[in-house]
Amino acid sequence: MTGPPRAGDKPPRRATPRALHRCGAGASFLWKLALGAGVLAIWLLVGVVVVLLALNLHTPPSWYFSIGAQTEAADIELAAGRETQWRIEGAIVCATKALPAPLALLPREASSPCGGRRWFAHALPGGENAEHVLVLGGPGISAEGAATPGAAPAALQVGLETRGDGGLQMSIRGPGPLRLALSGQELALPPGLNLIWAGEARPRDLVFPFTGERVRVGRDVTWSDSSMLREGTLTVFTASEESLAKRSQVEEVALMPGDQVRLERHGGDGAFHPKGFVRFDRLGGGDAPASLGVVAFGRAESIRIERFGDSGYEFKPGWWVGILHDRLLMMWSAVLAALITVLGGIAGCRELATSPAEAWRALCREWRAGTPRPQEDER
């Protein structure tokens, strides 16, 4: 038996259990492996963010523009091959030749609402609950109005302008076909028509929905033409999966009186035609002059605004706005920033995150090592 320790002798060291050595080596390996994986993930995320940023700058997103304005003039180029139907009750039809019945030819007077001797004025047939529908364009119809399935569709130019007497004038130009639906029958109309709604004739408000190639709201301010845009707003949207409306507002600007705004068909993948409607409220109260309410919505990379007769400028959000509204780019950038913050907040991260291979070798040495030999007493 071993005797009691003598005075001055150092107490013997106790051997650390082998299981604790193995656990410590394993925990150290896992910690260093996690830090190494975090650093590698940072470099991978940096590459992903750079690729997404390059794609965003190379192919800028398409924006959705919405125009809401009160104006005295608007011009629409209707989409070729699409049929458009408008109700025109109360209008006087002006054509360059006499039209057959049931249109009633009005006497050619000096005060004709059509405004010239070359125009023939026609009144629409009246009657209780009369409904008159103007059909513009349509697929499979030639420019002469004959049904030709293989014919290329033709576009129509439509101009709307308020009149001094509080009425409305619509001009229709182009080779596209025109038809008038009257009480169950259709009447082919020649190209080039004017429709006049006098200020005193107010049977109903007028609404003209459209799908067009391009839309122009307002008119250039000149000494010879007083019709102009009065007020309005231009709103820019972008597609958003998080929003219930599938779009989120980017910016909204106010249009100035006299502005002229052009919205054209998007030329990217697919056909994105501007859509909207024009409303003419013929029962406006007070002494305010008549105006057209125009609402148009379309997808485009930019929209053109001409102000006070200048050459105009392209209005579109900047590249930074496109980056901020790129959902994938923002998501991966946030993940990258969070990972850098976590790893950067660890004290001594660089010293702790040594090579995982070195930590693996240390773990293997601990598992292969035998039980530590008991140390002899020091005499």
Question: Rounded to the nearest 10 degrees, what angle do helices 356-368 and 18-58 cross at?
Answer: 160
Total residue length of the chain: 379
DSSP codes joined into one string, 249-318: EEEEEEEPTTEEEEEE-B-SSS-B--EEEEEE-TT--TTPPP-EEEEEEEEES-EEEEETTS--EEE---
Torsion angle of C-alpha atoms 294, 238, 255, 275, degrees rounded to 10: -20
Per-residue pLDDT of the chain (379 residues; tens, 9 = 90+): 555 656 555 555 554 566 665 666 666 667 667 777 777 777 777 777 777 777 766 666 668 899 999 999 999 999 888 889 999 988 899 998 888 888 888 887 756 778 777 888 998 887 667 788 999 987 655 444 455 555 567 789 999 999 888 889 999 998 878 889 887 788 888 888 999 998 776 556 889 999 999 999 998 877 777 788 999 999 988 776 666 666 778 888 899 998 999 998 876 555 688 999 999 976 555 566 778 999 999 988 888 888 876 767 777 776 666 666 666 767 777 777 777 776 666 645 455 545 556 666 666 766 666 545 544 444 4
Name, in order, each residue with C-beta under 8 angstroms of 127's C-beta and a sequence gap of 6 or more.
none
CB 260 within 8 A of CB 67: no
Give the phi and the psi of residue 137 in degrees, each rounded to 5: 65, -160
Give residue limits of the domains in the chain.
Answer: 19-56+329-367, 65-313
3-state secondary structure of 342: helix
Q: Please give the distance of CA 256 from its chain centroid, rounded to a whole number.
A: 22
Pairing mode, strands 104-105 and 84-87: unpaired
CB 278 within 8 A of CB 293: yes
